[in-house]
Amino acid sequence: MKPLQELIRPNIRNLKPYSSARDEYKGAAASVFLDANENPYNPPNNRYPDPLQQELKARLAEVKNVSSEQIFLGNGSDEAIDILFRTFCEPGRDNVVAIDPTYGMYQVCADVNDIEYRKVPLDEAFQFSAGKIRAAADQRTKLVFLCSPNNPTGNELRRNEVEKLIQTFDGLVVFDEAYRDFSAAPTLLKRLNDYPNLVVLQTFSKAWGSAAIRLGAAFAAPEIIAVINKVKYPYNVSLPTQKAAMDMLSNRHKVEQWVKTLVEEREILMANFAQLPVTEKVFPSDANFFLARVTNAVEIYNYLVEQGIIIRNRHTLARCENCLRVTVGTQAENNRLIQALKNYKK
Ligand SMILES: *Cc1c(COP(=O)(O)O)cnc(C)c1O
């Protein structure tokens, strides 16, 4: 890995971050707050939230077996993705490399930040090779994006290839684990202390059932977290969100039960989907969705919309010709989908 200071954009390296009222105050016993121009009425929402979300990070650190200094929390993992661009990639000069197809936000954030986005196609098994990623990279490649289980393909990337890339690439490797909970493979968080260039993304939006609260996490070496904390908005995670996340962390058995149910339902839904006359192939899944090739993705997608059932048409993506992406719902929802497709007449 290059020295971190060399990877950081020069303006960010030299940035003096905004110092909020609550940053400056460090005393323990204060009870009169006349420092932040807040309204004294309407608790608790009258007060600015903790800019570094320390209570929530302490709890999450315990659950994830990392240290608080290894955690960035943001407005969804989407904020984490964007802040990595803004921290490391110089607009109009630097570039990033990503597997293709994958999660669309990497490219959107690259485009917004005017960063060249280099795609490396996955093979027929939706796997990648570390060598091909490195071949697409150059001295100005700051980030590589890997998503595993990958969206929209649903599969886990081969872990030895992932680690080979982390060990041999001299920029940062962003490893998106949005669907980790649904997979049998372990989290790469275990290797955080071994890899100074690894950034792991996780989210409360999927297994944790909390897409509405907008909370995502980036886990990385404390030096990386410290620099992205400089770039983030001071109060980027609201108090209601911090509270809702604390509640979810106290309800982990519920999350485990949802995951168990959804993985069981996934297997049933995929087996039923494979039997449909319209289905040509159901791709293996380690997530709470699966990709399937059908006879005509556009027509079937439109037919389902007419039936009030919305899935995702992925037909236009690389290697996804005539593919639909189906999220696993409740048993009743899954049955409605299957029934509708049984009734489909071309
Ligand atoms: C859904 C998803 C996310 C989650 O984004 P949030 O902003 O946290 O809701 C992140 N990465 C991938 C690959 C996803 O599919």
The tens place of each residue's pLDDT in the chain, 346 residues long, gives 999 999 999 999 999 988 887 777 766 788 899 999 999 999 999 999 999 999 999 999 999 999 999 999 999 999 999 999 999 999 999 999 999 999 999 999 999 999 999 999 999 999 999 999 999 999 999 999 999 999 999 999 999 999 999 999 999 999 999 999 999 999 999 999 999 999 999 999 999 999 999 999 999 999 999 999 999 999 999 999 999 999 999 999 999 999 999 999 999 999 999 999 999 999 999 999 999 999 999 999 999 999 999 999 999 999 999 999 999 999 999 999 999 999 998 7
The Å distance, Cα 178 to ligand 1 centre, comes to 6
147 closest CA partner among 132, 164, 128: 128
80 lines ligand 1 (CB under 6 A): no
Tokens of 5: 């200071």
Specify whether the CB–CB gap between 33 and 41 falls below 8 A: no
**Who contacts 322 (Cβ-Cβ below 8 Å, separation ≥6)?**
280, 293, 294, 295, 296, 297, 315
78 lines ligand 1 (CB under 6 A): yes
The Å distance, Cα 76 to ligand 1 centre, comes to 7
The residue contributing the CA closest to ligand 1 atom 15 is: 151
The Å distance, Cα 120 to ligand 1 centre, comes to 20
The Å distance, Cα 264 to ligand 1 centre, comes to 22
Nearest 5°: phi and psi at 119?
-100, 135
